[in-house]
Amino acid sequence: MGYKRRWWDCIALPADVDGSDEVSFRMQMKELALTSLQLLKEAIFDEECQPLFSLEIYGNIIGMFELNNLDLVVESPVEDYFLYIDDLPLSEKGEVEQTTKPILDALGDDYSICCQGTAFFPLQSCMNHSCRPNAKAFKREEVCSDICKFLLSYSFL
């Protein structure tokens, strides 16, 4: 269910890290993983699951996400909603803006921040393990946009 490798061994070297510093960088990532694991143990440790709390297992789980995840970026549905409001006929716009203007004022420029995340899709992770990608994940922007507008407009009813 996905390609596995320890996180600190598979994470891409950032552009601002020189190749000669790679060993040091990977050791820092291993130390970061250990610190993260210790915090996780303090928060949710259960004796029954003790084998999962080894650095080796934890590193492989995080590495599996690193190698098999899909980054998601979705335009701000809030921005789409305000653009939708702007396009309304004047007869409808005034009443709606009484509700939306205070929200827009409170958000300031933050209304347009896109939604970002990452997810592990087991089927998607089986599709491409090549350094030369042979597939591309995409979403249909117009479908997502219309759904978001509907949900947001419904929430104001």
Does the pLDDT at position 71 exceed 60? yes
pLDDT of the residue at 144: 56
Backbone angles phi, psi at 72, to 5 degrees: -120, 130
Interval 134-145: pLDDT, tens: 666 666 666 555
Element (H, E) at 143: helix 141-155
Residue 71 has, within 13 A of its CA and on its CB side, a CA count of 5
**pTM of the predicted protein model:** 0.56
Residue 153 has pLDDT above 60, yes or no: no
d(CA 135, CA 128): 7
pLDDT class of 152 with cuts at 50, 70, 90: very low
Confidence class for position 156, pLDDT limits 50, 70, 90: very low
DSSP letter, residue 132: S
